[in-house]
Structure 1
Amino acid sequence: MHPVRVTLNGKFMGAHMTGVQRVAMEIVRELDRLITLDPALRDQIAFELVAPKSAAEAIAGLGLKTIPTRTAGRFGGNLWEQIDLPYLARGTRLLNLCNLGPALSLNAVTMLHDAQVHASPKSYSVPFRLWYRFIQPWLGHRSQQILSVSEFSKQELIHYGIAPAAKITAVHNGVDHVLRVRPDRSVLEHLGLSEGGYVIGLANTQSHKNIKVLLEAFADLPNLKLVLFGRADRNALQSLTDVPLGDNIIAAGPVSDEALSALMAQALCIAFPSRTEGFGLPPLEAMLLGCPAVVAPCGALPEVCGEAVLYADPDQPADWVRQISALSTDPTLRQTYVSLGRLKASHYSWARTARQLLELLAPAAVAAKAA
């Protein structure tokens, strides 16, 4: 029996790091680890990571041991994906992990992380909305199988007509990649932070991320700092609210994985007020590092976080003040959510995600191994 041949769409290797790119990288790494440890799997499924030529250096950084890689094609970005990739992946099954894939591919499995472009259109530019509103339903109906990252996301894909229910399988993300990172505590000194004296959150101006509620809440939390990491600077954050930003609002800018690990581990909590999320990596990453989470009861957050977090109304700054203050003044309460959070987040491993993918891509191999 010949192995199932699967081409991994490596366009993501040439993109800047986002949560979607993180998911793709970790899945590929874990698939590589599993087939390296189990030679029998190599007889059943053969992966190849194919990417644009510009991604050669990034691919080397993945450190793959068994999955072969190839950089080829005339183009980059979307043109590479739509024009070069169908030819490069001919005769194989194509695995797309980052919301997009070639419109002309028939033998594809595509991961659609969310339906945010429909649920929160104001978060995206007009060209982005138009492209996603065309390509996602096309892929949703043309791909052989659709992967979502949560049951919530699956229902959203069905609700907006992006893909039929029979095609969609929910596969949760992992978060244990944060345990590989060595924290860089120098970031605390650089930002003038003390352990437990600050709350961490996203510096993101997209409307569904709802950072406005945090900025307004921290006007009533003058003794705590709000450290927001990401590309939005202080001016961009100020544009979200009429409330003047106090000195306790810190726009940390983009930070390394090492710095972010230290920030999460030493924070009082992470505050995550998103109105919709396909999964929600940051709160679970923080929880696994011993940082309690206060989140909005929206999107997939209740599904993935369960009772291991505190919830606050996305429209009520006072509710965020109440929950964050409770963690600040009650060490026992905080320790309870440290323990609950660690336990809950530990259930989300990339090994589990990769095994679910193997069951979909090569069910015969998994069945033989189980027997």
Structure 2
Amino acid sequence: MRKKILINGKFLLAALEGMPRVGREITTGFDQLLERPEYQDITIELVGPKGTASQASYRNIKIVETGSFKGPFWEQFTLPWYAKGTYCLNFTGTAPLIKSNGCVVVHDAQFRSTSKSHSLKSFVLYNLITTVVSRRYKTIITVSNYAKREIQDFNVTRRSDIHVVPNGVDHVLRFTADPGVLGKYGLADKGYALANSYIYAHKNVKTLLEAFSKGPSDFPLVLFGSSKREDYDAHGIPVPPNVKFLGRISDVELVSLMARARMFLFPSTTEGFGLPPLEAMQLGCPTICAKAGAMPENCRDGALYADPFSAADWADKIFALWSDEAEQARLSAAGRVAAERFRWLSAARDYLDILRQDA
């Protein structure tokens, strides 16, 4: 008998980063795997709010739009009515509270371990829903052994049957670097360090800013992401003059900038997986990470590590690497090797094997 799996498709209406990217990449992998003989016993349908069908196209997965709600109301009221008893996969850590037949992907426990990074509303909502569904749903998947321990240690759920399926990182190989991007932003080839820009406390960008204030003014730090210079000013975090803010950028721009950066820097104090440093490593960009979260587990010897709470240690590591071409070459090669372990199609296969057993 064919098993039916329903996918909670709300992620298709979200920005393509973090958890929504995982949903998109794994679902695309499902679509490819369903053409293989060994998966002919599975039927997959993706259901979402109005507007979902225009966001993706699959050969073997039907997309259904239903209901007039969006966001949490759609997920808590429309989705369970549509799903009824069907096994449902939820990629973004939340799921209908009244169901239990399905799978929830819980990426980390940051809503507890880094509560200062979240608004009170999002903390209460996410904490409540994720905690309840993590204890009720038949199947729980997370993205690293570190995330599994964090979920258990912070008592999101203490169950021992959490499956670990790492994300992929090879999506960056689908994009061709655009040589015009450096000129667009006034950057020189191999003449800058690159990092994410998020004001959230656990992203720890303030440590990078302090580190760059200690070094030569002609070593530029280029930040991309949602947080601007004014956001750091508003939080009383000094920004040295050798820092450039790009704002949000496209995937092509990201690949272009990572491929031509002198180094990529990732100072987060906790991450359930740590996708950005692995993206950089996959593209051969020498990378320095905080020795924290899942980064040592996933990046292994493909990156250098710095104390997340010491700007002096970051400054030492950054400016030593800046002038050491041999170490840059070693990290470029070692980073690619470490990143090769993470492939979206392999992750999708692991998901399907788990879901087929539990559905």
Q: TM-score, normalised by structure 1?
A: 0.93
Question: What SS class does the counterpart of residue 223 from structure 2 fall into?
Answer: strand
Match for 2:220 among 196, 221, 225?
225
Matched, 1:41 2:36: no
In 2, are the aligned partners of 1:26 and 1:350 still within 8 Å (CA)? Answer: yes
Please list the CA deviations of residues 305-354 of structure 1 after superposition, one character each: whole Å capped at 9, or x if unmatched. Answer: 11111011112112112111222111111100000000000110011211
Q: Which amino acid aligns with 2:332?
A: V
Closer, same or farther: CA 208–364 of 1 in aligned 2, 3 Å: closer
Distance 2:236 2:190 in 1: 26
In 2, are the aligned partners of 1:216 and 1:241 still within 8 Å (CA)? Answer: no
2:90 equivalent in structure 1? 96
- Cα offset for 1:154? 0.5
Match for 1:83 among 77, 90, 99?
77
1:369 equivalent in structure 2? none
Closer, same or farther: CA 89–249 of 1 in aligned 2, 3 Å: same
2:23 equivalent in structure 1? 24
1:234 equivalent in structure 2? 229
Match for 1:53 among 47, 50, 68?
50
Question: What SS class does the counterpart of residue 4 from structure 2 fall into?
Answer: strand
* Identical-pair percentage: 39
In 2, are the aligned partners of 1:212 and 1:240 still within 8 Å (CA)? Answer: no
Superposed, 1:88-167 pairs within 5 Å as 88-167=82-161
Distance 1:40 1:289 in 2: 33
- Cα offset for 1:364? 9.8
In 1, are the aligned partners of 2:139 and 2:358 still within 8 Å (CA)? Answer: no
> Mind listing any 5+ residue stretches in structure 1 that lack a counterpart?
366-371
In 1, are the aligned partners of 2:138 and 2:358 still within 8 Å (CA)? Answer: no
1:329 equivalent in structure 2? 323
Please list the CA deviations of residues 154-191 of structure 1 after superposition, one character each: whole Å capped at 9, or x if unmatched. Answer: 01111122123323111100000110012223221111
Distance 2:193 2:353 in 1: 40
Match for 1:72 among 53, 66, 72?
66
In 1, are the aligned partners of 2:206 and 2:237 still within 8 Å (CA)? Answer: no
Superposed, 1:162-311 pairs within 5 Å as 162-221=156-215, 222-243=217-238, 245-311=239-305
Distance 1:239 1:322 in 2: 28
In 2, are the aligned partners of 1:202 and 1:229 still within 8 Å (CA)? Answer: yes
Distance 2:87 2:63 in 1: 16
Matched, 1:358 2:357: no
